[in-house]
Structures are given as structure tokens and as C-alpha cells.
Amino acid sequence: MTVANPLELEPGLQPQGWLRYLSFSLDHKVIGIQYLVCGFLFYLVGGALAGVIRTELASPMSDFVGRDTYNEVLTLHGTIMIFLWIVPVVNGAFGNYLIPFYVGARDMAFPRLNAVAFWLIPPAGLLLISSYFLAGAASQSGWTAYPPLSLTTPAAGQIVWILSVLLLGGSSIFGGINFIATVLKLRRPGLKLMQLPMFCWAMLGTSILVVLATPVLAGTLVMLSFDIIAHTGFFNPSLGGNVVVYQHLFWFYSHPAVYIMVLPAFGLVSEILPVHARKPLFGYTTMVYSIMAIVVLGLVVWAHHMFTSGTPPWMRLFFTIATSFIAVPTGIKFFNWLATLWGGKIALNSAVLFSCAFIFNFVFGGITGVALAQVPFDIHVHDTYFVVGHFHYIVYGGSVFVIFASLYHWYPKFTGRLLNEDLGRLHFVLTFIGFNLCFAPQHWLGLNGMPRRVAEYDPAFTTWNQVSSVGALLMAISTLPLLINVVVTAFRGPVAGDNPWNALTPEWLTSSPPPVENWIGEAPLVTEPYGYGEHPGGFDLDRISGRDLWSSGKS
Amino acid sequence: MDTSLQPVTTAQPASEEHGHPDFRLFGLATFLVADGMTFAGFFAAYLTFRAVNPLPEGAIYELELLLPTINTVLLLVSSFTFHRAGTACRSGRMQTSRRWLLLSIALGIAFLAGQMVEYFSLPFGLTDNLFASTFYALTGFHGLHVTLGVICILIVWFQARPGGSISQDSHFGLEAAELYWHFVDGIWVILYGILYLL
Ligand code: HEM
Ligand SMILES: [Cu+2]
């Protein structure tokens, strides 16, 4: 039985031009851009909130905003950055744009579900932000919403927070189902799993985590809302409930969630490096097994967030060992990237700079992570700024750096125009210095006992906090060259040509931007997406890519 | 020399070109895995509560077994009747199929009625203690699934009418509802074991 291709339905009803980006479009490329732009707008909001946090922390007293407001800002910042920026962008934006190309398809397996998944996000995000104004007070219990704190802070804001996160979780699950079906079922005939570009494996692994872990968070939040609205006592100690059960369920989702944020970034970097180093991706097979190992291990390490929550010794032992084991597949990937770069003809453009900085930052965050997995050390620094430093090296230094790298790499694909390199390098330098200035000192602060999530601190910590705030200011400034670059280039940037990087992965073997159905003719069968440098006299892109089949697809 | 990229010129049949095989059942199965994880979370919470949180004086875990056991049988039989409906539809006996569907609906409604009777005869309410809350959350969440299932079967029954959209050659709706219904029944068996027998 076949299903009609939805792109063929209702011809003429789908808006054209820029209006289609505001429509319920079923085109995976439009949906990808929708995710990207929507995510970026939320990133600006989350960034402004981070600005409030760092301004407050520039002095030891809470003198910029009140303490309750600080807690609201902190909660909104974390929730927005995770659920409305990184998760939707690394999965929804790049996943939707690239995966159909990589499997040689004209769209995702379920285009309508795809559009629904995207359109859940803007209302959920606006709901979350509006709780600050509408409900009297936004949620104040952090992105973790631990009870009993979340049971005693203002109820309306907390309920809105739960509702919003449930919607975003639903969106994420729909997306995950779509990616699994697309990668496993929609591959072009003749294309084998082990011939797919690495990003497909990353998205497959991520989506497995999404499907297995997100529903547990949803169930947990429903129980939490019962505690708030109906006064049940699941997580309320004064009614005989158990807060540690909440923590277990929450981290059963939220540790995998950190991989939901970083595995797609691994995949994207694995696409970018070979193109600009003109070398095949090193160790394809080990890379695939590493991703799958991370998926399996990622599901059994959650209690490393709970070493101070009265966990029994056997549990500490198990979760320390399991967590430390994750360093093995992660390390394999790290060395594979280095080996990919090794001896390559590296073009040091903005995409590569951000990718290399990612490797650097991620290794640092990985090392502090392994340190945190050791109980004796973690008990010392749990809930201090050391943890804040650790995860920002990974979520910002890792995922966000990769989002920027990907933007420079794929912008010509999206628009047909090349971003300006000088502005790109300025953006890179400002971001890299600002980022390290902001988050490196936080490790030191944490080691010396500065607790996280508090608006005030011991004046002895002032200097390093001010350094950190200066770093944050630099990061804010670094957004300007990016914005200018993206907007100006869209209108008058140099035309890139269809394949400015001479890349071999399938998304480049069509026009830029691509036609509605991705290829005018048959999708090319790309069995060696990383075949760089394997043809001594250089390769003849015209001959092997089937340009004759697609050059008429200029739109 | 073997080149890495080969344009493939062999034309595909037109139906493959602008459409693709139906993966909706695969998608539904993936969704049910996710849904199953929600239940798994609830079960894990319940078992942990039970293991480490003592109940207040006088509260009990023991539940009346007769009604839920009858309910379990009802659901299992309904899985069988739905299976018969599916077989009948696939072999083109639509009238027979619709009769089996009606029977499945009746069994589903009987289950829900039994659940209601149980709710009203229990000696505890939602907020009485941890066990009571978890009991209602688990059975309630499952009951929602059964309700949704009954509605789905009703729709399928309607669509399977002569001239309706479900027929021998096009029965995705029926198969989806069947898969879902078996899932809901399977969850109930686990729930029955953990909640009533343990
Ligand atoms: C080598 C791999 C990693 C290890 C061994 C590791 C270990 C840890 C440990 C033990 C903690 C708990 C610290 C505490 O609260 O006392 C932690 C916190 C955290 N990690 Fe990692 N981590 C790793 C990678 C990652 C990655 C890849 C991400 C994100 C993409 C990440 C994000 C986080 C976040 C967000 C927190 C803090 C959560 C919170 O309490 O708000 N980590 N990590
Ligand atoms: Cu973790």
C-alpha cells in the first residue's frame, strides 16, 4: 500500500516565498528553518535572562532584581535554553533539514506529524514566558522543579511551567518517532545503514533516547501537578510522599536529555570536519558503535545527579562505574575527530574554528564530568558553581558552538549565499574568549564552595564573579556580528553556488537552496559520503555526482 | 575505477516515485513504546513507594480481587474478539468483522463500568494516602487509555460500514486500533499483577 506524498496534495494551497515559513508547511526544509529561527528567537530571550543573572551576580548583594525575581529568571533561563533552544535546534532544525537528504528521501516519513511537532513549540514557549506576566509569578524552582520546593513556590507559575514542558516533551516525542521511521524505513533503495552519513546515526540514537526517556518525564510532571492541584502526596514528605522518587524519575529523563542535546552535535561535527579537512571521517564503524554505546549507557547513569540524596552505597558504586564508562565511547569519538583532522588540508574558516573549539570545550567539560562522577569529589562540589561550569562547557561550549559551526557550514545550503568570513571570525573570537572567561572561573568558585542558584554570595567571591560577568557581556556582544552577518548576507551576500565546499554528502548534490522535492530527478545514491582524497587526481564532481540530474533544479 | 557516487538512472515505478510505503503502523508502534515508558515510570514509582514508604496506621494494601479479575478476563476476551474482527476484515467478511468489533466495544465498556463500580466501593479516596493516590493514578491513566480505545473502535466500526473507508484492501484504521487495543490489554495484565496480586 502506498500513501500519497503530502507534498503533492493540495497544490497551490501551500504559501510560497517567505510566507511559507509562517505556514503549516509540510516541507521538511521549511520546518527545519522554522525550528532554527524560532529556536534562535528563544535563544535571544534566554540570553537576555542570562544577562540579568550575570548582572545580579556582579555584586555580592541582591541589588539588581529581588530574590524571587532572580529565581524566576534563573528558572526561565534554564528551561528556555534547554527545551526551546538547544533541543529544538540540534534535533528539529538540522535533523529535519538534513536527514531526508541523507537517506535519499523527498521528505520525512510523517510530514504532517512533523509540522504538528513544530507548531507545538511557539505556543508552549510563549505560554512559559507569559507566566512571568500573567500568572502573577513564573515558576521559581529551577529547570529541575524539585519538590518540595516546587510544591511551595507559587502554584500558578509552576503549573504553567509543567504544561509548557509537557507540550515541548510531546513535540520532542513526535519528532523522535519521525526520525526513527525516516532513518530506518525511508532510505533510498540500495542505501545501506552503514553507508549513511554519521549525523543519521546520531539522530537515530538521540531519537531512541527521546522515545524511551521523555515519556517518563511527562508522567512524573503529571504526578507533580497532581500534588500541586489535587494535594496528593506523591512527592510531598509531609503527606508521606517521597521526594527522592521524583529525583530518580526526573533524572531518568534528564540525564539522557543531556545526550539528546549533545549527540546530534556530535553528528553535525562529524559532517563538517571531513568536508573542510578533505579527508574521510576517521573510524566510521567505531563511531557508530560509540553512539549506540552512549545511548545504552546514557540510560543507566542517572543517579550520578543524586549522590547527595541519601543514595545507598551500592547505588553510588554502580552509578559511578557506569558513568565513568561513558568516557570510553566519548573518548573514541574525540580521537576519531582528531584523526580526521590529522594531516588534512584544513580550511580554517568559521565553521572549522567553531568545530575545533567545540572539541576543545567538550573535552574540558567531559573531564570535569568524569570528576563529578566520583562520589567523594561530587559530595564536595554538588550544587556549587563547579557543576554550573561543567555543564555550560558541554551545553554551550559543546552544543551551541556546534550550532554556530553548522550555521556557517549550511547557511549557503539554506539560502544560496555565503556568510561573511571576517564577521564570522570576529563572532568566533568574541564567543570563544567570552565563553571561557564566563565559565572557567566558575569551576574555581565552585571548588571554593560558592553554591549555585542563589542571588547573593560571600563577598570573597566577588572578583571571579565579575570576571565571569565580563565574559557574559562579551558573549552578548558576540551575537551582534552574527546577527548582522545573517541578515545582511540573506539579501546581498555573495552567491555561493550549489556546492561551495565541494562536499560529497547528498544535501550538496542538488541546487542551493534545493527545489521543493529536494532533487528534480532521481536522488543520487551516495554510498561513500566521505570519499574525500581517495581519488588521487582529485575527483570529478560533475561526473560522479550526477549533476546533469539536478542542475535544472535551480529555484 | 569504482567511484564513490553513482547517479542511478533506473527509473522507479511511478507509485514509488511520489509516495512511499505505509509506515504508519511502524510509527504507531514506536509511539506505543513511548507510551509504555510512561507506564513504566508509574510502575517504578509505585514499587519504590511500596518498598520504602510505610503507610499510616490502619491503611491497607489488600484490595478486593473478584471484580478486577473479572475485568481482566473481559479485557483478554476483548483482545481475542478484536483479533477475530481483524482476521475477518482481512479476508473480506466485513459484516462478521463489524459484529466482532461491536462485541469488543461492549467488552470495553463493561470493563470501564466494572472499574467505576470498584472506584465507588473502595474504602479510600484519591488523597487518603500514598497507596491510594498511586492506585488511582495508575488505574485512572489506564482507564483513560481504555476510554480512548473504545472511542477508536467505535470510529472503526462506523468506517467499516458498507461503502465506508475501511474495507478488505484498506484497513489501516482497523489495524492501528487493534495494535493499540492489544497494547492497552497487555499493560492491564502487568498492572493487575503489580497492583492487585503483589
Ligand atoms: C563524559 C561525560 C559526562 C559525565 C561523566 C558527566 C557527569 C556529570 C555529573 C556527575 C553531574 C552531577 C553533578 C552534581 O550535580 O553534583 C553532571 C551534571 C550535569 N551535566 Fe554532566 N557529565 C557528562 C557529560 C555531560 C553532557 C554531554 C552534558 C550535556 C550535553 C552534561 C550536562 C550536565 C548538566 C546539565 C548537569 C547539571 C544538571 C543540574 O543539576 O542542573 N553532562 N554531569
Ligand atoms: Cu548526568
The CB of A363 under 6 Å from ligand 1? The reply is: no
- Nearest by Cα to A255 from A292, A203, A296, A219: A296
Q: What percent of chain B has pLDDT over 70?
A: 89
How far apart are the CA of B59 and the nearest CA of chain A, in angstroms? 12
Under the banding of pLDDT at 50, 70 and 90, the label for residue B20 is: low
pLDDT over threshold 90, residue A551: no
pLDDT at B136: 94
DSSP label at residue A459? G
Residue A129 grid coordinates? 514566558
Q: Give the number of other Cβ atoms within 10 Å of residue B184's Cβ.
A: 24
pLDDT over threshold 50, residue A5: no
Under the banding of pLDDT at 50, 70 and 90, the label for residue A537 is: very low
Answer for the pair A397, A361: CB distance below 8 angstroms, yes or no.
yes
pLDDT over threshold 80, residue B132: yes
Alpha helices per DSSP H over A80-120: 94-102, 111-119
- Nearest by Cα to A3 from B55, B144, B18: B18
pLDDT over threshold 50, residue A554: no
Averaged pLDDT score across all residues of chain A: 91
What CA–CA distance (Å, rounded) separates B100 from B66? 26
Side-chain-side CA neighbours of A455 within 13 Å: the count stands at 19
Amino acid of residue A432:
F
A302 touches B: beta carbon within 8 Å? no
- Nearest by Cα to A482 from A413, A401, A393: A401
Amino acid of residue A349:
N
Alpha helices per DSSP H over chain B: 14-17, 24-52, 66-90, 94-121, 130-159, 172-191
- Nearest by Cα to A333 from A391, A403, A282: A282
Under the banding of pLDDT at 50, 70 and 90, the label for residue A79 is: very high
Averaged pLDDT score across all residues of chain B: 87
The dihedrals phi and psi of A278, each to the nearest 5 degrees, come to 50, 45
Give per-residue pLDDT as tens, A279-306. Answer: 999 999 999 999 999 999 999 999 999 9
CA–CA distances in Å: residue A533 to residues A61, A237, A268, A276, B24:
59, 64, 21, 12, 41
pLDDT at A16: 66
The CB of A144 under 6 Å from ligand 1? The reply is: yes
Answer for the pair B55, B129: CB distance below 8 angstroms, yes or no.
yes
Ligand 1: centre distance to CA A291 (Å): 17
Ligand 1: centre distance to CA A210 (Å): 18
Q: Give A337's contacts (C-beta < 8 A, 6+ positions apart).
A: A269, A270, A273, A282, A359
Give per-residue pLDDT as tens, A109-166. Answer: 999 999 999 999 999 999 999 988 876 788 999 999 999 999 999 999 999 999 999 9
Give per-residue pLDDT as tens, B145-155. Answer: 999 999 999 99
Under the banding of pLDDT at 50, 70 and 90, the label for residue B163 is: confident
- Walk me through the domains of chain A, giving residue ranges and CATH numbers: 30-544 (1.20.210.10)
Residue A349 grid coordinates? 574558516
Q: Which ligand is nearest to the CA of A259?
A: 1
Under the banding of pLDDT at 50, 70 and 90, the label for residue B24 is: very high
- Nearest by Cα to A460 from A444, A473, A472: A444
**pTM (predicted TM-score):** 0.91
ipTM of predicted complex: 0.89
- Walk me through the domains of chain B, giving residue ranges and CATH numbers: 24-51+66-197 (1.20.120.80)
Average pLDDT over every residue of B166-171: 87
Residues of A in contact with B141 (CB under 8 A): 219
How far apart are the CA of B66 and the nearest CA of chain A, in angstroms? 27
What CA–CA distance (Å, rounded) separates B186 from A498? 53
Q: Give A336's contacts (C-beta < 8 A, 6+ positions apart).
A: A281, A282, A283, A286, A287, A290
